[in-house]
A and B are shown apart, each in its own frame.
Chain A
Amino acid sequence: MARKSHVSTIVNGEPIEFLCDPPQTLLEVLREELQLTGTKEGCGTGDCGACTITLDGRLACACLVLAVEAEGRSIGTVEGIASGEHLHPLQKKFLEEAALQCGVCTPGLLVAAKALLDRNPQPTEQEVRYALAGNLCRCTGYDKVVRAVLDAAVEIGGESP
């Protein structure tokens, strides 16, 4: 068997090193090797968004990234959205407004929504809908998800001067 590759990355701000087989996806390594199971696998083909992460700040489907490609890069997952005991406003609004039912798409939706608000702090409803169009949710019909993101944007806007 081929030798394992050694990869050095930063995951949610912390330096992490791991060994992986060359064909392993970043998703498999996050979940099976690093036990970061908040990132979900819904399709393995980049169609559902359940494994949405950030790679050097840009959104990516972890199922479409090889683990070895993470060398030297910075990865953000759902586990890194809250800071310490403080939930991100998106997490708070998702809870307050019942924007999740089964909750399996929620990590991907949160990562994608945060990326949207980071670059566009005051999105319109349509902008939210397009920004989340890569994240499938089968339970909610998106109504409460879209409202939660819009309300989180208002809350974040209210906090900053």
Chain B
Amino acid sequence: MSEPRKFHSVGTRPIRHDGLDKVTGRARFGADLSLPGMLYGKVLRSSHAHAHIRRIDPRPALQLEGVRAVITSADRPEIPSEHGTGGEGGPVDFRDLSRNVLARDKVLYHGHPVAAVAATNPRIAEEALGRIEVDYEILRPVLDVEAAMAPDAPLLHDDLYTRGVDPRPETPSNVAARIVIERGDTEKGFAEADVVIEREYRTETVHQGYIEPHAAVASTAEDGQSVLWCCTQGPFLVRSFCSKVLQLPISQIKVIPSEIGGGFGGKTTVYVEPLAILLSRRAGRPVKLVMDREEVFRATGPTSATSIRVRMGARKDGTIAAVKVRLVYAAGAFPGSPVVPGAMTMLAPYQLENVRIEGYDVVVNKPKTNAYRAPGSSMAAFAAESALDEIAQELALDPLELRLRNAVRTGSQAVYGPTFKAIGFVETLEAARNHPHYRAPLAPNQGRGVACGFWFNAGMQSTAAVNLTEDGSAVVVSGCPDIGGSRVSLALMAAEELGIPVERVRPVVADTETIGYNDVTGGSRVTFATGMAVIEATRDVVRQLCKRAALIWEVPVEQVEWREGEAHCRNGEAKDPLSLREIVRQAVRTGGPISGQASLTARGAGPGFGTHICDTEIDPDTGRVQVVRYTAVQDVGKAVHPSYVEGQLQGGVAQGIGWALNEEFVYDENGVLLNAGFLDYRIPVASDLPMIDTVLVEVPNPSHPHGVRGVGEVPIVPPLAAVANALFRATGVRFYRVPMSPPRVLEGLQSRK
């Protein structure tokens, strides 16, 4: 391999360009826009988890003073089943999407939208909701994912036949799909194993928990074009999804992305956005539609509850001989759980000869799941990495050593098919083993666990433009909302190529009519893929700068070289270098403004691997578990802005710890969510966590000009198992179910006695 590239901007830690607005309150998020004459929208939601809608009468609401529009499914076109690509590359059926936005015929979860109103103030809109008459025929709901698979379970959809089963079933069921990943001969592998364990794991429905609720402001002009301001990870996705759901041409919808207050995958679809557009079209006035927190919990996002069975066998030397897995993921009200990425990622860190993974996508009467950071992987890794920990104990092997003996390396074939190019998994394991944390002494009631994680990272489509200004600075335009520092990362890559300080680069996020198409901010793709587009666009600008210098000097362009922000002449004649500023100053005479643009489908997203070390301390009287020390090691390719890379690791770990210890949706038997608020759905607060140490391993991604690979998703994969493994070592009790909340832990401790 060639000498590692020396960078002057990439790898530094400048202040992010959008930071000032965010520490002074000026930054405008989804709910922060108000327009003249604006109305306020509210959504009527189902009070049952499963019911037929016999009749909806919106007329009494319309009679209320101040109400300007009421919409139900009758106001929208019915659309046929049509498969498209969802936010993070997964499948979406637009018919399901349309019915999730506003129920038609049937409600499938408590909180499912059935109507929406727009009124002159929020209190009138709220009052109007109470006047809409809905006649339900209540049906029995099914909430548990295993129960939903039973032959006598209540059916959510009478036209759902399991895909991936041959022959096609003759009767509908709640099982939307079955997938199988298979390699080698597991029976032969188990026969050769010296130790075999078989275990069952359960995880509960959890929510992304972004602090900013979904919000949209729509206004429609006399020519029929609707302009939508909203907080989203994908303005182009919102445009295309609204166009499908409302059957409007793309050209009639313009989306302006606001700042976004967290998403974690949860803002890669539409909920209130099409309703705001439809209300604004009905009322002829701008409409603001903002969810409250309860609506966010009842009707957006979550990720799947799961039921996982693992049979794992190993030889005495620690080689994994065979693994057999059954994954069952709850999709919520419509098909599309992340069981496929769960199955693909679950054992991806290991070289395995004999594997069989069977996955089921199952509908239940809960909100339709949406992407959540490394979708599907955390639950699968909880099972796989817990089982590996038990194998290590059975064989009296160090758990990192066991993983090292089976780890994939550059050139290994992944369980899910492709061959890994340059990857740094082994490097993360070695860095963890050599970290002082791994040898630090433990206090009484403390235990130390390790676990690993994998995520593919995405490429997908991006467009970027780079425009030079008259004073010799640069504007970098992208169409990917900045959810955690991507503007500054893109600016750093442009500064690197131009050879100017990053302070002279201003990055902006444009709307859907100001920049070419961009896929969502998700899949850990923006710094990688949009960064690639920025680099290409900047290199185009540099070529033009060289051409302009050649014109000024009257030399062939081949004799001009761009170095450190200046054109240098190589023809031997003593010419002073021309700075970017000087070339731009003369641009009017040499061909006009200088700008570059690049559009691409980014290939070669480098996969990410992480290894985590977690110390927990248990209070034996209450069952409360505290994480007292945590170290996350990850191969990050090249850290463009190391502070924000560390921040991704720390944030992912914190979400994973919340998932491991506290977070779960609690439903009653009627399918009503009992903890639809931050008081009872308790995400980690500052006093719950220790400092989270990070180690950035940098194995450059050969497919990216600066070596970048995605970093945002891997860190949420290992924590569930890292906590469970630590807890086992602290208590001698193995927990197969998350969250490991105080009552469950206490019960576990009592069973030990």
Is B650 within 8 A of A91, CB to CB?
A: no
Within 8 A of A (CB), among B647-700: 647-648, 650-655, 677-679, 683-689, 691-692
| Contact partners of B19 in chain A: CB under 8 A | 94-95, 100, 103
Tell me, in angstroms, the Cα distance from A160 to B619 when the chains sit together.
Answer: 42
**Chain A to chain B: the 3 pairs with minimum beta-carbon distance, closest first:** A38-B25, A104-B261, A141-B654
CB distance from A18 to the nearest CB of B (A): 15
CB distance from B5 to the nearest CB of A (A): 24
Q: What would be 5 A-B contacts, judged by CB atoms less than 8 Å apart?
A: A91-B23, A91-B24, A103-B22, A128-B686, A144-B647
Is B123 within 8 A of A21, CB to CB?
A: yes
Is B261 within 8 A of A103, CB to CB?
A: yes
Tell me, in angstroms, the Cα distance from A98 to B641 when the chains sit together.
Answer: 10
| Contact partners of B150 in chain A: CB under 8 A | none
Is B23 within 8 A of A106, CB to CB?
A: yes
Is A141 within 8 A of B692, CB to CB?
A: yes
CB distance from B662 to the nearest CB of A (A): 13
Is there a chain B Cβ closer than 8 Å to A62's Cβ?
Answer: no
Is there a chain A Cβ closer than 8 Å to B190's Cβ?
Answer: no
Within 8 A of B (CB), among A29-77: 31-32, 35-45, 47-48, 50, 77
Is there a chain B Cβ closer than 8 Å to A140's Cβ?
Answer: yes
Other-chain residue from B26, B27, B29, B264 in contact with A138 (beta carbon distance below 8 A): B264
Is there a chain A Cβ closer than 8 Å to B16's Cβ?
Answer: yes
Within 8 A of B (CB), among A121-143: 125-126, 128-130, 132-143
Is A130 within 8 A of B211, CB to CB?
A: no
B171-211 to A contact mask, C-beta < 8 Å, 1/0: 00000000000000000000000000000000000001111
Most buried by A among B15, B646, B647: B647
Is there a chain B Cβ closer than 8 Å to A105's Cβ?
Answer: yes
- Evaluate whether A42 and B213 lie within 8 angstroms (CB atoms) in the complex, with A141-B689, A143-B692 already known: yes
Is B655 within 8 A of A138, CB to CB?
A: yes
Other-chain residue from B22, B23, B28, B293 in contact with A43 (beta carbon distance below 8 A): B293
Other-chain residue from B18, B259, B679, B687 in contact with A45 (beta carbon distance below 8 A): B679
Most buried by A among B24, B210, B212, B684: B24
| Contact partners of A156 in chain B: CB under 8 A | none
- Evaluate whether A141 and B650 lie within 8 angstroms (CB atoms) in the complex, with A47-B678, A133-B685 already known: yes
- Evaluate whether A130 and B651 lie within 8 angstroms (CB atoms) in the complex, with A38-B25, A81-B24 already known: no
Residue of A nearest to B20 (CB): A95
| Contact partners of A23 in chain B: CB under 8 A | 123
Other-chain residue from B641, B650, B688 in contact with A143 (beta carbon distance below 8 A): B650
| New A-B contacts (5) at CB < 8 Å, excluding given A32-B34, A138-B654 | A95-B15, A110-B23, A128-B686, A129-B686, A130-B686
Is A104 within 8 A of B212, CB to CB?
A: yes
| Contact partners of B685 in chain A: CB under 8 A | 132-136, 142
Is A79 within 8 A of B25, CB to CB?
A: yes
Is there a chain B Cβ closer than 8 Å to A153's Cβ?
Answer: no
Tell me, in angstroms, the Cα distance from A129 to B263 when the chains sit together.
Answer: 24
Is there a chain B Cβ closer than 8 Å to A145's Cβ?
Answer: yes
Is A130 within 8 A of B687, CB to CB?
A: yes
- Evaluate whether A146 and B691 lie within 8 angstroms (CB atoms) in the complex, with A47-B678, A103-B259, A136-B685 already known: yes
Tell me, in angstroms, the Cα distance from A43 to B655 when the chains sit together.
Answer: 18
How many B residues have CB within 8 A of the partner chain? 62
CB distance from B21 to the nearest CB of A (A): 8
Tell me, in angstroms, the Cα distance from A97 to B688 when the chains sit together.
Answer: 21
How many A residues have CB within 8 A of the partner chain? 61
Other-chain residue from B29, B483, B689 in contact with A101 (beta carbon distance below 8 A): B483
B90-132 to A contact mask, C-beta < 8 Å, 1/0: 0000000000000000000000000000000111000000000
Tell me, in angstroms, the Cα distance from A47 to B655 when the chains sit together.
Answer: 18
Tell me, in angstroms, the Cα distance from A30 to B211 when the chains sit together.
Answer: 19
Tell me, in angstroms, the Cα distance from A45 to B678 when the chains sit together.
Answer: 8
Is A107 within 8 A of B686, CB to CB?
A: no
Residue of B nearest to A39 (CB): B25
Residue of B nearest to A93 (CB): B23
Is B262 within 8 A of A102, CB to CB?
A: yes
| Contact partners of A11 in chain B: CB under 8 A | none
Is B691 within 8 A of A143, CB to CB?
A: yes
| Contact partners of A26 in chain B: CB under 8 A | none
Most buried by B among A39, A44, A100, A130: A100
Most buried by A among B22, B483, B646, B651: B22
Is B679 within 8 A of A47, CB to CB?
A: yes
Is there a chain B Cβ closer than 8 Å to A87's Cβ?
Answer: yes
Is B683 within 8 A of A138, CB to CB?
A: yes
CB distance from B404 to the nearest CB of A (A): 27
Is A98 within 8 A of B23, CB to CB?
A: no
| Contact partners of B650 in chain A: CB under 8 A | 140-141, 143-144
Tell me, in angstroms, the Cα distance from A146 to B684 when the chains sit together.
Answer: 14
Residue of A nearest to B678 (CB): A47
Residue of B nearest to A43 (CB): B293
Is A129 within 8 A of B683, CB to CB?
A: no
Is there a chain A Cβ closer than 8 Å to B485's Cβ?
Answer: yes
Is B686 within 8 A of A138, CB to CB?
A: no
Is there a chain A Cβ closer than 8 Å to B589's Cβ?
Answer: no
CB distance from A61 to the nearest CB of B (A): 12
Is A101 within 8 A of B647, CB to CB?
A: yes
Within 8 A of A (CB), among B1-51: 13, 15-16, 18-20, 22-29, 31-32, 34
